[in-house]
Every structure is written in C-alpha cells, then in structure tokens.
Amino acid sequence: MTSSTPLSPRAPFFVVINAGSGRDDADEAIPTIRSILEASGREFDVLEVADPARLPERIAEALERARRAGGVVVAAGGDGTINAAAQQLIGSDVPLGVLPQGTFNYFGREHGISQDVAESTRSLLRASAVPVQVGRVNGRVFLVNASLGLYPKLLEDREAFKQQFGRSRMAAAWSGLRTLLGERRQLQLEIESEGKRRTVRTPTLFVGNNRLQLERIGIAEAAMLENGCLAGVMLRPIGDLAMLGLALRGAFGRLGEAETVETFAMKRITVTPRGKRRVRVALDGEVLRMAPPIVFDVAPEPLLLMLPAPEDRVEVE
C-alpha cells in the first residue's frame, strides 16, 4: 500500500478541528491554518467542533462537501479525532489529511507528519493521497491500537487524571503507573484464529496497527504490519513487581523479550470473554462497550491518507 493517487493541486480542504483536543490548541491552531491556506490560494473551509458529541456530524458534513467538490477532509485533533474521521472516510474516494493536535499522535508521527500545526499545514499543500492499512474491531476502525482489559482501564483512569491535573505526557505516564500497580482483574478469553481455539487467562489483550508504537515498546511483530497483519500482545497473570518490570521493559523498548509476554501476528482473531455480556474495548484512546464475540481484523479496504512529500516528512521523535 505505497502507490500514491493523483489529486488536483486545487482540491479544496474541509478542515474539521476538534476543540476538545485542547481548547487552547484549537484557538491557536485555527488562525495559523487559515493564514497559511489563504496565502496559498487554496480553497478551504474550517468546521470547528466545540461539542465532541457533534464531531461525527461535522465529519459527515465535511465528507459530503468533499465528495461534491473533489476535495479532502482534514482532521485536526488527536488520535481519537483522526479515528472518528477514518470511520467515515474508509472505503470512500475522499482522502484524509491530518493536522495532529493531541498528546501522543502516533498515527501522524508514524507517517512523518509534523506535530507543529504550521509545518503540517504547509506540508498538506504538497501531500499525495496514499492507501494505508486500517484495523477493525467488530467493524469499527482503529488506526493505532485496540484492546481489552487493562488498557481500557488505563485509558479511563488517564482521562480522570487529566481532568484533575491537566493534559501532558508526564501526567499520562503517572496515571498509567498507578493503574498498572492497582489493577487486579483478569480476563478469561476464548480465542479463535485460523480454525484453532484456545482459552487463556490474561489482564489484557492488545492489538496494534502502528509500527512506531510497537517498535517503541519492543514488539518484533511490528514488521509484520507491512505484510497486511496486525500485532497481538497478551500478558500472563503476574504480580505488581512483575508488572512494574514489564512497564520498565516497555519504556526501554524490550517488552517483547519478557517471558510473561506473548506476541503474535494475525489478520483476524475472534475473542469471547467468559461471563461478560458487554466488555470495555479501547480504540485509539476512546473506550466503548461491546457485546461479545469481539472480532479483530484488518479492514478489507485501505484509508486514503494525505502523505507528506519526502522532503516535508519529519524525523520520528
């Protein structure tokens, strides 16, 4: 999935910016985006979303307008905002542009998109539409990762921590450490893959679709994403000290080497948690509740992403 799709250099941009990704970020970003696009002579419109509940509605509006005008939908926000846009754009002929505005921005960073809004807006003007792989869980798209168990709990705790102490990587890391050392629940999962079934007990099942994130924590299966696969990670039941040790391994890029960690590549797995009518599932930083069975797979159609020209791509930090 590397060939680019020709796009008119006059294709208009319909920019959906999520103020929920950071009120101050949005206030600073909108004038910057406007000034750069106005100076370029490119036709555009900015659709600001003050209420996160209206984000899908505004994306749908932008998609319809882009279809009629032969344009591009641009998502300005964090991984969750970009995911919401991908949900609607996948399978369409409308490309997705990305202006990262969140905390971690794994999707944008993997594709060399600058986290500086001025730089990413300028690079968007010279970008080409390229198909990229997308994962799904029960039909819903994920770009970075999806998971059951510990990770959704970590995200919920991180959101509560953010409301109290603000949005930063340091606050996220501290919140994550507290969750890792305090969570005791285990999942009983029946897993079916390629006609084989097995039952496992684990605190979490993590499925990754982002090579950068997987490489950072030391998962060798990151390379298999190039072959149309997803990467799975499961932990064996362990105590607090061992969990802390895994967190440190992940921080130093050696998680996959741990004996208590199982990693694997797959294109589709079906997971049924025992005794659960609904289960928390995390997708790109958002937590949903789904009814089992939970099916993780590679989406049959790619997402068209506006990839920066080689000279505009930034080095991964």
Give the pLDDT of residue 316: 72
Task: List the alpha helices (DSSP H) in 22-168.
Answer: 23-40, 55-69, 79-89, 106-110, 117-124, 150-165
CA–CA–CA angle 264, 286, 243 (5° rounding): 50
Question: Residues 232, 236, 241, 243: what is their CA dihedral angle, to the nearest 10 degrees?
Answer: 20
- Taking only the tens of pLDDT, the chain with its 317 residues reads 455 666 777 899 999 998 755 445 677 899 999 999 999 999 999 999 988 889 999 999 999 999 999 999 999 998 889 999 999 999 999 999 999 887 778 899 999 999 999 999 999 999 999 999 999 999 999 999 999 987 655 554 444 445 444 454 544 544 444 544 454 578 899 999 988 999 999 988 999 999 998 888 888 888 999 899 999 999 886 655 455 555 555 454 556 667 778 999 999 999 999 988 999 999 998 889 999 999 999 999 999 999 999 999 998 76
Could you tell me which of 245, 213, 249 has the C-alpha nearest to residue 231? 213
First to last CA, the chain: 24
| CATH superfamily to which 13-134+301-310 belongs | Probable inorganic polyphosphate/atp-NAD kinase; domain 1 (3.40.50.10330)
Residue linked to tokens 């799709």: 5
Cβ neighbors of 81 (< 8 A, separation 6 or more) are: 16, 18, 20, 21, 55, 75, 101, 102
DSSP conformation class of 126: T
- Domain limits, the chain: 13-134+301-310, 145-283
CA distance 75 to 60: 12
Q: Report domain 145-283's class.
A: mainly beta
Q: Could you give the maximum distance between any two Cα atoms of the chain, in Å?
A: 59
| pTM strictly above 0.75 | yes
